[in-house]
Structure 1
Amino acid sequence: MSWLGHLTLDYRRDGERTTAHDRHDGPLRVLQRLYPEGPEVCHHVLVHPPGGIVGGDVLNVQATLAEGTHAVITTPGATRFYKSSGATAEQSLVARVADGARLEWLPLETIAYRGCKAVNRMRFELAPGAEMMGWDLLALGLPAANEAFDSPDHADAFFTQEIELPGVWLERGTVKASDHRLLDSPLGWAGRRVSGTFWFATGSAMPNARRQQLLDLARTHIDALPADAPCVAGATSTHERAVVVRALAARVEPMMGLLAAIWADWRQHGWQVTPCPPRVWKT
């Protein structure tokens, strides 16, 4: 049996408070609204009660942030794409962020299990005065348990990732379990099985000084990694509306630690907002 799930999140401003209204169909929903840092910022935790996504499942999330709202969206645990018997599993997000609104899309890692066939799409539409931070962490197989990302039934497992900020950034990449040239080459994943992408994006051009500040903050943490660190990373800004950090690691934990440290500095210095890590990150 395949699961079809749809979740709509609607954030609005009510005085000083960011309120949220949600509608769901199928096994995809949110926990109650949380305000650990005051009424202006709404924290939401997305939950998928079945516990994993299998071939044929289709999950869709749509988020709309009205003017002046601020939402932090995360998950209570890893998103798990399990082995498929043939059909592709799909998950998609479309977020529309209005002028003066801020979105933090910060789910915990995605795990692509052996034999999975999966597509994960994200699209973020930012109005001229909108800003966001978002990340995506992908673990192929279970590195901590030495379980490879492979195709036990000889039907090539794959994971396709799409990230789009219209007019700014569009990427689509597919990792196949059989593509050892990509996975093991020093020009590819270099034998590591965890990748991470973290970005700060705006709806209009950032001043050069601000982009440089965000790059410097990220590079300070990257440069502090020891030579034998299980995580390597780099920060770039090839467009005036985005700063991007890319990372590879052998395990999820060191990468999460690096990106969370950069997130805290970007939040503090980019938005002048005190970092407030969601509680679920510590459970």
Structure 2
Amino acid sequence: MAWLAQLNLQYTVRAARTCVHFHHDGPLRVLRSLYPEGDAVCHNVLVHPPGGLVGGDTLDIRVQVAPGAHALVTTPGATRFYKTNGAPATQRTHLQLDAGARLEWLPLEAIAYNQCDAHNLLHLELAPGAELMAWDITAFGLPHAHEPFEHGSFTQHMEWPGTWLERGTLRADDHLLMNGPLGLAQQRCMSSMVLACGTALTRTQREQLLESTRAVLDAHPQGAWCGITAPNDHMLVLRGLAPVVEPLMQLWQQVRLCWRTQHWGIAPTTPRIWHM
């Protein structure tokens, strides 16, 4: 039987403290709120007890951040898309940021298992003054376990209507895409990271952020497989490839700290669960 799990998170500011109100349906929820940086930033860990999705399962996640609130959401482990039973498995994420809101959407990686049929959808809405840091990291197969991604497909859709759209389907049997030099070049982890701003960045801000991000990439062994661009005045988009998850995850965390410090003027703090 297919699972339908829904989770709605609503962040507001009460007495200078970012608080979360949530309701859920099915096996999807957040743990208690943490404040390692003080009251201004609310950290939550999103938990899906089944640990993965099979054919027909759907995870539906909606996050709304009210004016002045700052939320950080991560996960304790990977999202696993298992072998399909004939129907696709879908994760839908809708992030809505009101004026002046901040959100760090930082889940750990998604893993596309052999013979999966997976759809991973991300939809953004940002009001003027809102700012979002978000990443999406996908691993194909389990290289360390000698379980390659040989059959199946993974569809990725990321959209900020009217501002940014990326969509693609990676099929395991598309050898030019998976292995060719203009595709994944035999790498089995791909990732995108964005800094999205409801109010356009100035040219000076964009250039300074691009320069500092490139410095982080140049100093990391995996940086040669990564690139940062500003596709429009409202966004920076960082993309990268690696043979496995760990090098990109480490690099993305370094870039996040760079953006946090430079653009937001916030101390470089990382979620404690990443060290467990």
TM-score between the two structures when normalised by the length of structure 2: 0.98
Contact 1:113 1:141 in 2 (8 A): yes
CA distance in 1, matches of 2:77, 2:61: 17
> How many aligned residue pairs are there?
276
Q: Once the 2 structures are TM-superposed, how far is the Cα of residue 27 of structure 1 from its aligned partner? A: 0.7
Deviation of 1:231 after TM superposition, in Å, equals 6.4
Judged with a 3 Å threshold, the aligned counterparts in structure 2 of structure 1 residues 38 and 230 are, in CA distance, closer, same or farther, namely closer
Q: Tell me, in whole angstroms, the C-alpha distance in 1 between the residues paired with 2:104 and 2:206.
A: 18
1:213 paired to 2:213: no
Asked if structure 2 preserves the Cα contact closer than 8 Å seen for 1:81 and 1:112, the reply is yes
- Could you tell me how far apart the structure 2 residues matched to 1:57 and 1:145 are? 25
Superposition deviation, residue 244 in structure 1? 0.8
The match for 2:148 is 148
In the alignment, which residue of structure 2 is the partner of 1:154? none
Identity, in percent, stands at 50
Aligned AA for 2:58? V
Shift of 1:144: 2.3
1:271 counterpart letter in structure 2: W
Matched letter for residue 206 of structure 1: L
**3-state SS of 1:219 partner:** helix
CA contact (8 A) 1:124 1:165 kept: yes
Superposed counterparts of 1:160-239, under 5 Å: 160-226=155-221, 229=222, 232-239=225-232
1:260 matched residue in structure 2: 253
Q: Summarize deviations over 1:46-97 as a string: whole Å, max 9, x none.
A: 0000111110101101111100000001000001000011110011011110
Amino acid at match of 1:15: A
- Specify the alignment match of 1:276 in structure 2: 269
Q: Which runs of 4+ in 1 moved over 4 A?
A: none
Normalised TM-score (structure 1): 0.95
Instruction: In structure 1, list runs of 5 or more residues that go unmatched.
Output: 152-156
User: Equivalents in 2 of 1:118, 1:161: separation in Å?
Assistant: 8
State the AA in 2 paired with 1:51: G
Q: Which residue number corresponds to residue 240 of structure 1?
A: 233
Instruction: Quote how far apart the aligned CAs of 1:230 are.
Output: 8.6
Q: How does 1:12-161 map to 2 (within 5 A)?
A: 12-151=12-151, 157-161=152-156
Q: Give the 3-state SS of the residue equivalent to 1:182 in structure 2.
A: helix
Cα separation, 1, equivalents of 2:256 and 2:223: 19
CA displacement at 1:216 relative to structure 2: 1.1
* Equivalent residues of 2:217, 2:224 under 8 A apart: no
Partner of 1:9: 9
Q: Helix, strand or coil: the match of 2:270?
A: coil
Amino acid at match of 1:76: P
Paired with 1:231 and 1:175, the residues of 2 have a C-alpha distance of: 23
Give the secondary structure class of the aligned counterpart of 1:211.
Answer: helix
Residue 280 of structure 1, CA deviation: 1.3
How many Å separate the matches in 1 of 2:157 and 2:257?
25
8 Å CA contact 1:230, 1:249 repeated in 2: no
Q: Are the aligned partners of 1:99 and 1:128 in contact in 2 as well (CA < 8 Å)?
A: yes
**1:138: how far off?**
0.3
> In structure 2, how many angstroms separate the alpha carbons of the residues matched to 1:239 and 1:211?
10
Q: CA RMSD in A?
A: 1.1
Instruction: After superposition, give the CA deviation of every residue in 1:19-69 in whole Å (9 maximum; x if it has no partner).
Output: 100000001111011111100100011000011111010110111110000
- In structure 1, what is the Cα distance between the partners aligned to 2:223 and 2:142? 16
What amino acid is aligned across from residue 230 of structure 2 in structure 1? S
Amino acid at match of 1:262: V
CA contact (8 A) 1:13 1:69 kept: yes
Unaligned runs of 5+ in 2: none
CA-to-aligned-CA distance 1:203-246 (integer Å, 9 cap, x gap): 021101111111112100111234xx496101111200000110
